[in-house]
Amino acid sequence: MNPSKKLRPTQILVMSFGTAVLSGTLLLWLPLASAEEPLSLVDALFTATSAVCVTGLTVVDTGTHFSLFGQLVILALIQLGGLGIMTLGTFFIAALGGRLSWQNRDLITQTISRDTRYDLWQLLKSVLLLTMTVEAIGAALLAIRFLTNMSLPTALYHSVFHSVSAFCNAGFSLNANSFESYVSDWIVNLTLIGLIIVGGLGFVVLLDLRRLVQRNDGLSHAERRLSFHSRLTLSFTGALVLTGVVLFIGLEWTDTLTGLRWPDKLLASLFQSVTSRTAGFNTVPIGFTSNATLFLLIILMFIGGAPGSCAGGVKVTTFGVLFSLAINRIRGRQDAVIFRRRISEKSVTESMSILTLGITVLVVFTFLLLAIEVGTKSFSYTQGTFIQLFFEAVSAFGTVGLSTGITPELSVAGRLLVTLLMFIGRLGPLTIAVAVARRMQRPVFRYPEKQVMVG
């Protein structure tokens, strides 16, 4: 038997993203990719991983350090990472008349959707059509504003780059200060917010919404209704965004939001609440926010967006399931119930595993970053470094890209750690664990059950 036939879908996914990262590293390492001094191999690896994993953390300024070739390489890596290497590959195989193996079919279903109502080929076509349409609309809207202070070619290029970066939730910007210069610009802010939300909801949710508004497609009323997954995703996404807005504006009203009119303060808070969950753009200087605000952003970054989307984090549905379980247990109920529906035990177990693995990964990597970057230095000499490194670790794991400004100051070992953390965060701790673990087998027998005092 061909050894490749033994590879599981998750292993193929890891290998595909790994190949894309290595290819991007070699391209960005070329002197042609830099307008200034060429990147070191470590920095090229860091940037390529950040692009493929749609993170946005950078060690150099994207707009000035890279040549047009280097920027286009980054843009291509962002698009590939956002859609998923196997998603694009499978679509082109199908377009050329090739056959899709059951193994690859299983992989694409896991990557995009587990909902069996959708035909796989139609789903793939819809994904690409939706992506191109949304990114084109976003680019057109951004161009309207950029044309006021840029030449036509520059405005169009900036519009396309930032539209793709926003939809893929990447956070890469050609501006040295991200979008701080546009903090009061409603067109730019609302366009980016829309792109980030659409890219972070997941393709199945978007297809559900599209079907909901269709009228002459012959679907029954029951078929028009949003799926349970979509309702859960939309509800908790809205709740998290609203909570983030209220807390951010309350914490930063007299600090980073000082000098803005109250409508602009609301806009800046909305932008940061949305982008902090996965995208990585900022309109206020993150390094000047309060400790409480940084911790708020850490929570939002850790939760992330929806599964099957361009977003990272442990996913909003994971948070929704466990939040519901906790509330129902407090009320004395055994099951996790949302919208009068009981969440399956399998989903609850998977959510707990993802949360546990996510926390474990962050604890280990934060400890290693502290050991490498701070070492044995006294706390009195390193105040604030812990929150900076912890923020950086969560940003990398959640593939967000926000930073307090410490990224370029990391040592080579620290950059390699963050690079690995971005890769793990993009594919998910559970996917990595399953990919490298042995196949699970049904036990021949089960051990006796015992109760343990907990809590």
Identity of the highest mean pLDDT range in 36-40, 258-262, 270-274, 340-344:
270-274
pLDDT value at position 291? 93
For residue 39, give the 3-state DSSP assignment. coil
Give CA 313 to chain center in angstroms. 6
For 198-239, how does the pLDDT look when each residue is reduced to its tens digit (9 = 90+)?
A: 988 877 788 778 777 765 555 555 556 777 888 889 999 999
Identify whether the C-beta of residue 303 lies closer than 8 Å to the C-beta of residue 354.
no
Q: What is the CATH number of domain 11-112?
A: 1.10.287
Q: What is the dihedral of CA 163, 168, 171, 172, to 10 degrees?
A: -70
Q: Residue range 30-54: average pLDDT?
A: 94
Residue 254 vs residue 95, higher pLDDT: 254
For 46, the token pair is: 């860091």
- For residue 400, give the nearest of 421, 415, 386 by alpha carbon: 421
Q: What are phi and psi of 338, to 5 degrees?
A: -135, 130
Amino acid at 363: V
Q: Which residues contact 78 (CB under 8 A, 6 or more apart)?
A: 51, 52, 54, 164, 165, 168, 170, 172
Q: How many helices (H) and strands (E) does the chain have?
A: 19, 2
For 148-175, how does the pLDDT look when each residue is reduced to its tens digit (9 = 90+)?
A: 989 999 999 999 999 999 999 998 999 9
Helix residue spans in 113-218 (DSSP H): 120-146, 152-167, 186-201, 203-213
For 368-386, how does the pLDDT look when each residue is reduced to its tens digit (9 = 90+)?
A: 999 999 987 888 788 888 9
Domain locations along the chain: 11-112
Cα–Cα distance between 172 and 55 in angstroms, integer? 8
pTM: 0.88
